[in-house]
Amino acid sequence: MAPLIKEIEKNSDTLESIVCVTAQHREILDQVLELFSIKPDYDLNIMKKNQNLWSITTEVLNKTKEIIEKSSPDIVLVHGDTTTSMAAALSSFYAKIPVGHVEAGLRTFDKYYPFPEEINRVFADALSSYHFAPTDKSCENLLKCGISKEHIYKTGNTVIDALLYTIKNHNVNLSGFNLDNNLKTILLTSHRRENFGEPIKEICNAILELINNNKDIQVVYPVHPNPNVQKPVYELLDNKDRIHLIKPLEYAAFCSLMKKSHIILTDSGGVQEEAPSLGKPVLVLRDTTERPEAIEYGTVKLAGTNKDTITNAVQQLLDNPREYKKMSEAINPYGDGMASKRITDILKNI
């Protein structure tokens, strides 16, 4: 959402932005606000130890009620498929304030996969009056769900705006991570709830096999702070040769690490969209994705969460330069870095 906030600020003669953050992930939020020079008007500061979906939902619902009543906005913008976005959209609906959903229309059409994101985005779309969809496919999904065509706008995804801005303006020196520049770097991220338990253990075991079979690679894994991720990852991968377990990175550093990587393994939706803009093949550690455009365009492949399917998918890219070149040169379907300007132009005219 950061590049959209900045674009709205450029149009202060016609638009006023009131920025509200929940701080569900305090340490991740603050560095992004600093990176983009954004000062929130409201900070709900809801982060608590052992927070859960019930507490996040009720906290956001109740606290945004007060802000909406105080600020009386003409429209409330929410982004993506977080529980924050769903609850904020519901709060706005209760106040009869129109909602604009940025990154609308993503679907797997399986309410439990990903959990709870699929239902979050379904609810956000149902509650919204304006749908800013990133791709043709997401527009089609909205039409299938009964959303009126005149309320759907294809804009591209603001995540590409954020990536290109950051790569251009905030290149980070990665020398502090002690990476070997003579090795191919595989970047791994995995944090989704659906991969807790056995799936994340399978992912870790796949990494061990790949490291053992390929002496020319190194793996970098920024490990999410959730204990369901930390425990199995450190039990299986800590103190292993050529495996770097690091703390979650600030956004600019993560962008620089993506740029340096040879292959990216992830269960993150955003990374599926970002990495192709940098020419990096992405293997998705899930059995399905709400971003089928990437598969159709050839920038992404599903690798699942089975050790053998993951190792086979990675090995094919390591051993087959032609396949690697095909994925790395495919066109990114998610945008050209102009989504925020398109959305802002729409907002000025509604």
Residues belonging to the active site:
81, 103, 117, 191, 193, 224
| Cis before 40? omega within 30 | no
Tokens at residue 260, please?
């340096």
d(CA 216, CA 224): 26
Length of the chain: 350
Residue 321 makes CB contacts below 8 A (sequence gap 6+) with: none
